[in-house]
Amino acid sequence: MFGIVVFPGSNCDHDCYYVVKHVLGRQATFIWHKDSRFDADIRAIILPGGFSYGDYLRAGALAQFSPIIKAVTEFAQRGGIVIGICNGFQILLECGLLPGAMLPNKDLRFICKYVHVCVDNVGTPFTNTYSPGQVLKIPIAHAMGNYFAEASVIERLTANNQIVFRYCDQDGAVSDNVNPNGALLNIAGITNETGNVLGMMPHPERCVQDILGSSDGRALFEAMASSMLQQYT
């Protein structure tokens, strides 16, 4: 079962529920941010996009103190599969499950559009359905997606193959010209060292059916569903 955490200000929680329940045909349940635990049947956690607590102070800063985050952290430390999408990624950075920080976009504007990202690491529970270097058409919608980390952190991310997605053009070429927010190394998504926690700024839940303009995000959720079954069998 997928657990989808809901914070005050979340606005992509029902999108994630729709994908899991109605597109993949898997079980899903909502988890309120004030809960201190969740059902033992939950095998994967989704921290959805939105504006948790109105993004006061900075994106994700207040959400890290929600009671549910302790349970999510313990779940991740036990090897549970956790994905943070957009605001969820920002929360994962704030609570320390992923390294680095988010800065305002380089042009200081909210960006909402389709972009292309390349899959740099297919050896994760989230990307094992993709091909190495595959280019995905996927939307972004954020004002703080400019990923930053100290040089030593970037070196570790690179050495450990933790950079999973990078902004690119439709042919897979990575350059400053196709970097929508100024993120270091065009980073659009990273994992923790063990690979069971993923943070990504693009919204895979918004591109799971062709009628939406792309279905490239569906394979990510299919990979999660398959990986969590393998993990507990």
Per annotation, catalytic residue among 33, 116, 142, 203? 203
User: With contact defined as beta carbons under 8 Å apart, do 186 and 178 qualify?
Assistant: yes
The whole-angstrom separation of Cα 125 and Cα 82 is 10
> What is the token pair recorded at 194?
């063990």
Which residues is 23 bridged to in the sheet? none
Q: Which residue from 201, 196, 189, 182 is spatially nearest to 224, judged by alpha carbons?
A: 196
The whole-angstrom separation of Cα 29 and Cα 49 is 16
Q: Which residue from 24, 23, 22, 29 is spatially nearest to 43, judged by alpha carbons?
A: 29
Q: Is 205 a catalytic residue?
A: yes
User: With contact defined as beta carbons under 8 Å apart, do 88 and 205 qualify?
Assistant: no
Per annotation, catalytic residue among 94, 95, 118, 205? 205
Per annotation, catalytic residue among 86, 95, 118, 168? 86
Q: Is 222 a catalytic residue?
A: no
**Catalytic center residues:** 86, 203, 205
